[in-house]
Amino acid sequence: MTLLSVREIGKRFGKLRALDDVSFDVQSGTFHGLIGPNGSGKSTLLKAIAGAHFADEGRILFAGRDVTWMAPHERSQAGMSLKFQITAIIRELSVYDNMLVAVQAAEPVLRLLRSATRAALQRHILNALDRFRLRGRSSELAGELSHGEQQWLEIAMALARGPKLLLLDEPTAGMSPQERRFTGELLAPIKAHCAIVIVEHDLDFIRSVCDRLTVLDQGRVVATGCVEEIGRNAKVQQIYTRRV
């Protein structure tokens, strides 16, 4: 089933065409990578999908609805979740409390006040921390986590609402090779209930994690296809050899 359909999106910043006639589809249960040189429009595209800014042209369909003119919180209620390049954790709160903030944003406060729900809530948070290898650190301040752990906490927080689609902008930037591998392992089980659109510089990482890729260059789609097709694509090879 098509979960997300980006159709002929255009976005200008003054005279600069940051996105030009960009179209691609994301199926449920798949991870879709966005790659391309610096400044090719990847972050701008993620923001347009999440509603952080509106596109000037085109349409965005999500879970059977036209979300083109929806505000970010409406898209979030519809089942989208965005993790930006810049971290959103609260460094002065514990790891557990960061999760609590994220979950509470998703749950009506009155339900949280009922103790039965509170126990369930605690279980839910500890399970999530467990999945992201953070349970042993739940009482530590989030600011004391390593860079990689902070990224995982943020992904766990972005998943707190049980989204249908998670948008990730360079989650492995600044990570060690081992942390990157862990990240791939942590993301894999999400596929059962949530699709991902992920921007990445690290081509090996994105090849290992994604089912399909869209390549952007100067705001335009160069190619969309499965990882093998993109690897063979002459235009894509040209872009990446041009860079070095």
CB of 125 to ligand ADP, least distance (A): 32
CB of 109 to ligand ADP, least distance (A): 35
Report how far residue 67's alpha carbon sits from residue 129's, in angstroms, rounded to the nearest whole number. Answer: 31
Return the residues of window 25-64 that contact ligand ADP according to CB under 6 A.
36, 38-44
Sheet with 2-13, edge to edge strand ranges? 16-27, 2-13, 57-62, 65-66
CB of 212 to ligand ADP, least distance (A): 18
Can you tell me whether residue 168 is helix, strand or coil? strand
CB of 136 to ligand ADP, least distance (A): 34
Q: What percent helix, strand, coil does the chain show, rounded to 5?
A: 45, 25, 30
- The distance of Cα 79 from the centroid of its chain, to the nearest Å, equals 12
Q: Which of 16, 105, 106, 188 binds ligand ADP (CB under 6 A)?
A: 16
Choose among ligand ADP, Mg ion, none what residue 38 binds, the Cβ cut-off being 5 to 8 Å by kind: ligand ADP
Half-sphere exposure of 111 (CA within 13 A, CB side): 9
Stretch of residues binding ligand ADP (CB under 6 A), selected from 11-19, 62-70, 99-107, 124-132: 11-19
- The distance of Cα 91 from the centroid of its chain, to the nearest Å, equals 21
Minimum CB distance to ligand ADP smaller for 6 or for 102: 6
Interaction site with ligand ADP (CB under 6 A): 13, 16, 18, 36, 38-44
